[in-house]
Structure 1
Amino acid sequence: MSPEPAARLGRTLAGRFHLLRVLGQGGMGTVYEAEQVGLSRHVALKVLHPHVASSPGAVERFQREATLMARLHHPGAAHVYDFGQDGGELFLAMERVHGETLEAVTFREGPLPNPVAVDVMAQVLEVLEAAHALGIVHRDLKPANVMLTGELSSPRVKVLDFGLAQVVDGSAQARITASGMVHGTPAYMSPEQCRGEPVDGRADLYSLACMLHEFLTGQPPFGQTPAAEVMSGHLYRPPPPLRQLRPQLQLPQALEALVLDCLAKRPEQRPENAQVVRLRLRQTLTPAIPLSQVPRGEGKKKERPASAPPSPTPEVPSGLPVGVLEEGGSFSMEVGTALAAVGFRVVPCTEKEVPLGDFRALVIVPAPGRDALALACRLASRPEAPPVLLCGEDDLTVMTRAIEGGIYDYVPLPLDPPELCRKVARALRARR
């Protein structure tokens, strides 16, 4: 620990944050545990390094990014409470998250089991969906910026430091300085970041794939050091197949294909957005045929495995009403029955009467022979709409159109009740 961070202890920044202890240090700044005066609330206070705060345009970028980050309200993202400047020092007050970073977990545990890695990354993708919808790109997604707040057997994630990489350099350019510091983390950086080009949400998808590659094989696609060699790999070398690194790894082909798709060198060659990746990721552990072999334009149907392993019943948040829009047919009754059986409070509704503001999630079940995609997208676009889940034919093209149209999740028919309940439980957690 350098003398400067320790010397700040006991100070009260901007008259409202009393610094208690150092939680950690990174390339951008030092994180303290602080008490917010008057509220008796403990926060994580990040104080940016002087060389960051004094770089050209840093104050303006910091204020712009912090204002944007404060708009991100998602249970999987660390909330931003306040930000400001004190004597030239820029600080950001965030939710104090108790847990362990994925970096620490994987250092101790090594590669994660496939289901755990998929569950963790799917939760991160839910957060990315919410952030990207606001125009927020993380730019420095890595295991050290993802906190686990639950047991590894049932992990809950918190994504930290949204948007702060933009403060370092207005173009999000990754540069190696004279001191050897890299503005970004080379092991998880997209090729466009390495080139110093503008980035969008697909850069985060590349970084997430680097993380998933590490969780499954024990290492990122191109290693971690030296920085120049790692960045050269991102720019010019094809990523190594996961099973080539761990031949003994029992890895679904669809999961490996998804990781490699997200590691495409050009953004337009990657999946369209975080929603599409999350949908594909959740399907990778149980598909009957590899998704990479399903022609998207033809919407080829997939057969479900004859005997899927039983899934654990999700934790059901009590007292949160779930609307089921019934258009008739046996599936509507089956959906309501499956949800009610595990403890969800189900409220039937019709197309003519859909009180969106009263629901925490809405499940739409079309009548036989009817396409409810347009209806679902229309309802999901309303400002008061909760997460909307659409049931429908097990067709990849329809699923993709639904996600691209703003649907929270897609539930294939014939119905798999445990899968339905898991998806609805995730929707309720996202809404809260």
Structure 2
Amino acid sequence: MPRVGQVVGERFRVLRVLGQGGMGSVYEAEQLGLGRHVALKVMHPHIASAPGFAERFQREAQVLARLRHPGSVEVYDYGLDAGFLFLAMELVSGETVESLLLREGALPVPRAVGLAVQVLEVLEAAHTLGIIHRDLKPANLFLESHPGGERVKLLDFGLAVLGGELNVRLTQEGMAVGTPGFMSPEQLRGLPLDGRSDLYSLGCVLYELLTGVSPFPVMASAEVAVAHLYKPIPSFREARPELSLSERLEAVVMKALEKLPEARPADAAAMRQDLLAVLAEPWESAPRKRGEGKKMERGLVPHAVPVPSPAVGGAPVAVLSELHPSAAGNTLVMSLAACGFQVKVVSAEDPLQELGALLVVAEGRESLARARALAARPDSPPVLLCGPADDWELVTGALEGGLFDFVPLPLDPNDLTRKVSRAQKLKR
């Protein structure tokens, strides 16, 4: 990587290191001839030579060059020098929203909503140009102090979508497409995206700004992804009972966090107007100590939610006998019975047409193949695979392999009841 004093691209003299990461480093540099100080983002040579990464880096430069807005950083130059891919950008000073949350926890309502409104202004400009950010999270929101007040800068457009063809190509090459804790359901499924996917991500950010915790804290990445796909977002009261936040504000946030894109605000402008209307109302929040929000997240346990009742009179639910009486199979049978289902244990040779759902516990990769074979039978009910939530290959294999659903282990009675009840209704 470049050393302090080295000139990159024949025009940027490195002054000091600002930050380092797995993909590269960011330096403060002086643009020779102009005397302008810039942020110089440089990729590691081994990353720059990997398939797809140079294209991603170039795409970030193209996106920033097209998007001229006070809430996005200005790009000055882009190039390749001695194996180093570099991007020269506007040098900003301040801190990320992630750092702010770690220090202060939940923010006062006017400040939290005001920051979200500023982000929506940037998104409105980006979406008008057909640019979807795809990686909106607190670490990519930068706060600057100005005489007129606090200003948000939206950073890291490296995953932004400029066109559907490019999006598909990079996804097929296995590129990371976001951060699971802030990704929309359609993004997690690899479906085509529009601006409403960014609104979902911003909904996650605003939820955290207001409560001090993320919608699904203390979970493995794969389990968080499954939660965003299937689990309801906990209410503000469930997340932080001691906080007093208006129902109208919660409704705006929860609308952005709807699983289906068509249920969310139509666009960034619509969500911004909803938040401005909330800001115009009187508000109050219970007093709280600084720093008790985000830092508490690692110690939280999932909130209790009333377990939905299973379908009344639903067809029996079966567990595959090859996995019974294993510990996981026993637990699944007992859990289904405790949730109010009529449970049977069957073998693959038994007739399945009278069953409301069939559950298979994943105990090795062959279980996925077995579940897919059962789901393909003409007499099969909806098949659900139960397995570790942190086995992302298993999760995606289940969701993409013709199965009805995936149930993460350890079992959550709410999640189990909801999914099996949906399967029973589908069978009817």
Structure 1 length normalisation: TM-score? 0.59
Does structure 1 retain, via aligned residues, the 8 Å contact 2:134–2:161? yes
Helix, strand or coil: the match of 2:234?
coil
Q: Secondary structure at the match of 2:41?
A: strand
Distance 2:52 2:34 in 1: 32
Paired residue for 1:138?
Answer: 133
Distance 1:212 1:203 in 2: 14
Calculate percent identity across the aligned residue pairs. Answer: 57
User: Quick one: which of 120, 125, 147 aligns to 2:120?
Assistant: 125
Larger RCO (alpha carbons 8 Å, 6+ apart)? 2
Asked whether the equivalents of residues 96 and 142 of structure 2 are also in contact (C-alpha less than 8 Å), the reply is yes
Which is further off, 44-53 or 208-217? 44-53
Superposed CA deviations along residues 334-378 of structure 1, whole A, max 9, x for unmatched, are xxxxxxxxxxxxxxxxxxxxxxxxxxxxxxxxxxxxxxxxxxxxx
Post-superposition Cα deviations, 1:117-175, rounded to whole Å, max 9, x if no partner, equal 001110111111111111111111111111111289942211112244569x9449789
Residues 1:231 and 2:225 aligned together:
yes
Which of 38, 60, 83 is equivalent to 2:78? Answer: 83
Out of 3, 10, 32, the residue aligned to residue 27 of structure 2 is 32
2: distance between equivalents of 1:150 and 1:175?
41
**Aligned Cα RMSD in Å?**
3.0
Structure 2 distance, partners of 1:194, 1:50, is 29
- Cα deviation, 1:249-279, whole Å, max 9, x if unaligned, reads 2211111111111111222221111000000
Contact 2:52 2:173 in 1 (8 A): no
1:64: Cα distance to partner? 4.2
2:141 & 2:172 partners in 1: Cα distance?
23
Number of the residue aligned with 1:265: 259
Output aligned runs, 1:331-346, within 5 Å: none
Name 1:72's counterpart in structure 2: 67
Q: 2:277 aligns with which of 264, 269, 283?
A: 283
Supply the distance in 1 between the matched residues of 2:234 and 2:171 (Cα, whole angstroms). 23
Q: Name the counterpart of 1:102.
A: 97
CA contact (8 A) 1:172 1:197 kept: no
Q: Describe the shift of the 1:61–1:233 C-alpha distance in structure 2 as closer, same or farther (beyond 3 A).
A: same
The aligned runs of 1:389-428 (5 Å cut-off) are none
Name the amino acid aligned to 2:259: K
Count of residue correspondences: 281
Question: Which residue does the alignment assign to 1:189?
Answer: 183
Cα distance in 1, alignment partners of residues 259 and 135 from structure 2:
17
Matched with 2:58 is 63
Tell me, which stretches of 5 or more residues in structure 1 are unaligned?
Answer: 288-304, 310-432
1:256 equivalent in alignment to 2:246: no
Conserved? CA contact 1:222–1:230, under 8 Å: yes
Corresponding position: 1:203 with 2:203 = no
Return the offset for 1:84: 1.3
Distance 2:99 2:19 in 1: 13
**Alpha-carbon distance, 1:28 to partner:** 4.0
Task: Give 1:231 deviation, angstroms.
Answer: 1.1
2:107–2:210 contact (8 Å) kept in structure 1 = yes
3-state secondary structure, aligned to 2:145: coil
CA distance in 2, matches of 1:143, 1:155: 15
Distance 2:50 2:238 in 1: 43
Distance of aligned partners of 1:176 and 1:248 in 2 relative to their CA distance in 1, 3 Å threshold: farther
Alignment of 1:358-377 (within 5 A): none
Per-residue deviation, 1:54: 2.7
CA–CA distance in 2 between the matches of 1:150 and 1:12? 30
Task: Give distance in 2, aligned partners of 1:264 and 1:173.
Answer: 27
Query: CA–CA distance in 1 between the matches of 2:265 and 2:152?
Result: 23
1:88 CA displacement: 3.1
Contact 1:79 1:95 in 2 (8 A): yes
For residue 82 of structure 1, what is the amino acid of its counterpart? D
Q: What does 1:312-391 align with in structure 2 at a 5 Å threshold?
A: none
Tell me the secondary structure at the aligned position of residue 155 of structure 1.
strand
Distance 1:127 1:286 in 2: 21
Q: Tell me: CA distance 1:35–1:206, structure 2 relative to 1, closer, same or farther (3 Å).
A: same
The answer to whether the Cα contact below 8 Å between 2:134 and 2:177 also exists between their aligned partners in 1 is no
The gaps in structure 2 that reach 5 residues or longer are: 285-428
Q: Post-superposition shift, 1:59?
A: 3.3
SS at match of 1:156: strand
Contact 2:96/2:138 (8 A) holds in 1: yes
Query: Aligned-pair distance for 1:8?
Result: 3.5
In 1, are the aligned partners of 2:60 and 2:160 still within 8 Å (CA)?
A: no
Alpha carbons of structure 1 residues 212 and 176: separation in structure 2 relative to 1, 3 Å: farther
Counterpart-to-counterpart distance in 2, 1:87 and 1:208? 38
C-alpha separation in 1, matches of 2:151 and 2:124: 17
Over residues 66-116 of structure 1, what are the superposed CA-to-partner deviations in whole Å (9 max), with x where a residue is unaligned?
A: 223212111111111111112332221111001111111111111101111
Partner residue, 2:7: 12
Larger Rg: 2
Report how far residue 53 of structure 1 moved.
2.5
- Partners of 2:180 and 2:46 lie apart in 1 by 20
Instruction: Tell me if structure 2 keeps the 8 A contact 1:120–1:157.
Output: yes
TM-score normalized by the length of structure 2: 0.60
In 1: Cα distance, 2:180 partner to 2:266 partner? 23
Q: How many angstroms does 1:24 deviate by?
A: 1.5
Evaluate the alpha carbon distance shift between residue 26 and residue 265 of structure 1 in structure 2; reply closer, same or farther with a 3 A threshold.
Answer: farther
1:46 is matched with 41
Distance 1:39 1:60, change over 3 A: same
